[in-house]
A and B are shown apart, each in its own frame.
Chain A
Amino acid sequence: MAHAAVHDTHHDAHDHKPEGFLHRWLFTTNHKDIGTLYLVFALTMFFVGGSMAMIIRAELFQPGLQLVQPEFFNEMTTIHALVMIFGAVMPAFVGLGNWMIPLQIGAPDMALPRMNNWSFWILPFAFTLLLSTLFMPGAGPQGGWTLYPPLSLQGGNSVAFVIFAIHMMGISSIMGAINIIATILNMRAPGMDLLKMPIFTWTWLITAFLLIAVMPVLAGAVTMLLTDKFFGTSFFNAAGGGDPVMFQHIFWFFGHPEVYIMILPAFGIVSEIIPTFARKPLFGYQAMIYAVASIAFLSFIVWAHHMFTVGMPLGGELYFMYATMLIAIPTGVKVFNWVTTMWEGSMTFETPMLFAIAFVILFTIGGFSGLMLAIVPADFQYHDTYFVVAHFHYVLVTGAIFAIMASVYYWLPKWCGNMYSERWGKIHFWMSVISVNVLFFPQHFLGLAGMPRRIPDYNVAFADFNMISSIGGFWFGASQLLFVGVIVHAVFFSKNRATTRVWEGARGLEWTVPSPAPHHTFSEPPVIDDSMLAHGDVTH
């Protein structure tokens, strides 16, 4: 391994980076550059989707309509969700996978580098298309990101653009997933057995299979919408013999694995960070992998818990309730393992660790409300209220996005070769973790008190908690500018050079290459030493 590191340092002096900005970034087939592109794109989309959230929270600041018409409000909720899911969270994880998977398994690059370039460069076009609908005559999509017909087909022709954009995002995701599977299965360095791989790589392998399985299902669902709208078919049109509920079944058969696509890599990240800063091997390495695999399997058989109120047969409701409750078991195993990893460790609390700990606590709170939502009779009350909004923002913002932020702080020194400002990272953390709870916790109360989701205006009784939530929202939004500041400072201005290992407790091949990681790494496969892998103990 030492040999590989030395070799790479040598390589760095003339590391064959393409010359010229366009040549380097547009035509790149380098996994690190493509990873960077994905991450920058995701951060941009995070702010685009975030500014829509600011409009939503501003309109909900007090009762009465002060800023926008209900139609525009509905466009904002719809596109906010599509941008955050497909533009921010998913590309961020693909970017992390691109950057880190080859480094973690000792591969020189992704298996299919040209396809890798294409997977990324589809995205800016897909999102230009999606966002252009905001400016179209007849307005953009207003039917919610779930696109339930008949409502989603009521708007103008913009729905065709949305559907085409979703097709492009799907193609990008499928290609990205194929690439990750091909890389992990074929390009591991000798000695990097599957059950020795770092957990982040493992979670991405499982996530990639989920993506390949369900993105075509989404493509099918939206294509049927397209033909219903423009070609006179009646898949979902009751008047023509179709069934509007069938769309929901197909959509959620995609949608539930999709929500795990957005959380499994986060599990992987947290499973890397906690052992690093606890300086202790991950508790139950194999149990963690089996838990992720079980969650992935269960994700295919629980979809209708998103639609308990559509009037399913009693047997169906009971089945989907029991199956959904089962997810609590592997998820519980993961949380218990993280906590136990911390026990008798030797912990320090740098920014990545702070975000990882916040992830464990706040994601678990989101898991608790998820368990409550699984109980069908109670779900009849919670369904489509702010309780659900609170639930999925806890798992997606303080879950997926906090894990992404943790990973950025964790790996940024490896990417750019400089340490970020620990002081400003911690300020960003504390601002985010407090404001996000001010933002989303009161939404539980609003939902339980009877406020439906996706409404632009509400009864006066809901005013107080909405105002608190909006204040938290603006605060959280503003705090993210600090995030950009910390990154820009670290990449361009920081004088504090990172060491090769970066973190005292760091384990894994990515910490054996120099910081910044040279353009080409592992051109020769590294020699694997088991003590370096998966935070030590790979036998359990």
Chain B
Amino acid sequence: MRRALAAPALIILGMLASTAASANPQPWQLNMTRGATETSAQVHDIHMIMFWICVVIGVVVFGVMFVAMFRFRKSRGAVAATWSHSTKLEAAWTIIPILILIGSAWPATALLLRMADTSDSEMTIKVTGYQWKWRYEYVDYFGKQPGINFVSSLETQSNRTRQLDSGLDPAAIKVDGVSTYLLDVDKPLVLPAGVKVRFVVTADDVIHAWWVPSLGWKQDAIPGIINSAWTQVDQPGVYRGQCAELCGRDHGFMPIVVKVLPKAEFEQWMTDQAPAPAVEATAITLAPTTAPQG
């Protein structure tokens, strides 16, 4: 009996404690991953801190409740007491939560300050949300203007399959044996590993939100407003995400793919892209101090 319970318990614990940075969502995934950056790992940590605080409070409160429900049943002959007040108890359960909250606000504040600090970034990407695709402009790379600018939208196989009554099997769409249905694009955003990248995020029609879970944040893309955020991915790989703000009919069909290459390969990729098609230099000059934080 005990062994029969142990196996599923181990699997569940394993899923909860999953530390492997996985770029794709996994079947039966129960928890946030640690992601691909130092920031996303810290976000995961603070999420787990809050989770365990809630678990402990829950065990205590529900535990007391269940004990009460079993001990103080009328059917067991329990006679109701008449007390209804205790200053000591009430003071305790006001002060202890305050201390717990201060304890959790502290690391949250530190992490928020870190995430808001886009200074010293070595590269800037402008992300523009459209119904229902993303435009990426390489605004700045170590002081140079790469002039790369392209649109990224859902790849055709997913797009055919997702039509109503297409009769096509979503599970058939795979890359390296992992489902990429609705999570793959025709042209991914390519980034160098180990470089602090600043994103400036906006939109051209309605509000979108640019979200790659492995990077640890999402940022709304709002017409008329430029938001900023940053990331530094050290591990080359492919990281997937989706639009996270309802943006109309095809909101569920505008994925994001970030392909991180080693720096040398990235620079090779950049030269392969040039000469960029004659796109108007819409790259805005961004004073680093004026962008609102993300």
Q: Which residues of A contact B (CB under 8 A)?
A: 63-71, 74, 142-144, 148, 150-151, 154, 238-239, 242-245, 278-285, 287, 309-314, 317-318, 321-322, 325-326, 328-329, 332-333, 335-336, 339-349, 357, 360-361, 364-365, 368-369, 371-372, 375-378, 380-381, 383-385, 445, 448-465, 505, 536-537, 540
Contact = CB atoms under 8 A, between A and B. Distances in A.
Interface stretch (B54-62, B140-148, B189-197, B274-282): B54-62
A465 B27 CA distance: 9
Nearest to A151: B206
Given A318-B109, A339-B68, A151 B248 contact: yes
A151 B246 contact: yes
Interface pairs A-B: 4 shortest CB-CB: A238-B224, A455-B252, A311-B227, A540-B85
Interface in B47-97: 47, 50-51, 53-54, 57-58, 61-62, 64-65, 68-69, 72-75, 78-86, 89-90, 93-94, 97
Given A309-B218, A371-B50, A450-B25, A245 B162 contact: no
B65 A384 contact: no
Contacts of B128: none
Contacts of A540: 84-85
Given A333-B93, A339-B61, A377 B108 contact: yes
A332 B91 CA distance: 12
Contacts of A311: 201, 219-220, 222, 225, 227-228, 292-294
B138 interface: no
Nearest to B95: A329
B7 to A, nearest CB: 18
B42 A377 contact: yes
Nearest to B210: A309
B31 interface: yes
A340 B89 contact: yes
Interface of B: 24-32, 42-43, 46-47, 50-51, 53-54, 57-58, 61-62, 64-65, 68-69, 72-75, 78-86, 89-90, 93-94, 97-98, 101, 104-105, 108-109, 111-113, 115-116, 161-166, 168-171, 179-183, 201, 205-207, 209, 211, 213, 216-220, 222-225, 227-228, 241-253, 292-294
A385 B293 CA distance: 22
Contacts of A280: 80-82, 84
B80 A380 contact: no
A375 B103 CA distance: 12
Contacts of A365: 58
A348 B86 CA distance: 24
Given A281-B84, A384-B244, A457-B162, A361 B62 contact: yes
B182 A457 contact: yes
A313 B293 contact: yes
B43 A448 contact: no
Contacts of A384: 209, 211, 218, 244-246
Contacts of A328: 97, 101
A452 to B, nearest CB: 5
A66 B165 contact: yes
A329 B249 contact: no
A367 B101 CA distance: 14
Given A375-B108, A448-B31, A461-B25, A284 B84 contact: yes
Given A311-B294, A333-B93, A345-B81, A460 B170 contact: yes
Contacts of B74: 279, 346-348
A383 B84 contact: no
B222 to A, nearest CB: 6
A383 B81 CA distance: 45
A158 to B, nearest CB: 15
Contact of B211 (A278, A378, A452): A452
A459 B25 contact: yes
A10 B205 CA distance: 69
Contacts of B82: 280-281, 536-537
Contacts, number: 316
Given A336-B61, A448-B29, 20 more contacts: A68-B164, A150-B206, A151-B247, A278-B72, A280-B80, A311-B227, A321-B105, A325-B105, A328-B97, A339-B65, A342-B72, A372-B51, A380-B43, A383-B218, A448-B32, A451-B25, A452-B211, A461-B24, A462-B25, A464-B28
24 contacts: A64-B162, A74-B251, A142-B249, A278-B72, A285-B84, A309-B209, A309-B220, A310-B220, A314-B112, A329-B98, A345-B72, A357-B65, A357-B69, A375-B104, A378-B46, A383-B244, A384-B245, A445-B31, A449-B29, A452-B243, A454-B251, A457-B170, A459-B179, A537-B85
A459 to B, nearest CB: 5
A133 B98 CA distance: 48
Contacts of A349: 69, 73
B113 A314 contact: yes
Nearest to A380: B217
A232 B281 CA distance: 31
Contact of A377 (B98, B111, B245): B111
Nearest to A375: B108
Nearest to A452: B244
B64 A339 contact: yes
A460 B26 CA distance: 9
A323 B217 CA distance: 22
Given A377-B43, A448-B29, A455-B251, A360 B85 contact: no
B51 to A, nearest CB: 7
Residue among A326, A349, A450, A455 with the highest chain B CB neighbour number at 10 A? A450
Nearest to B247: A151
A245 to B, nearest CB: 6
Given A70-B252, A325-B105, A364-B61, A317 B112 contact: yes
A41 B117 CA distance: 52
Contact of A309 (B206, B219, B252): B219
A348 B113 CA distance: 52
A368 B97 contact: no
A289 B252 CA distance: 44
Contacts of B166: 64-65
Contacts of B216: 377, 380-381
Given A309-B218, A371-B50, A464-B28, A278 B80 contact: yes
A306 to B, nearest CB: 12
Contacts of A243: 224-225
B116 A346 contact: no
B170 A464 contact: no
A68 B42 CA distance: 40
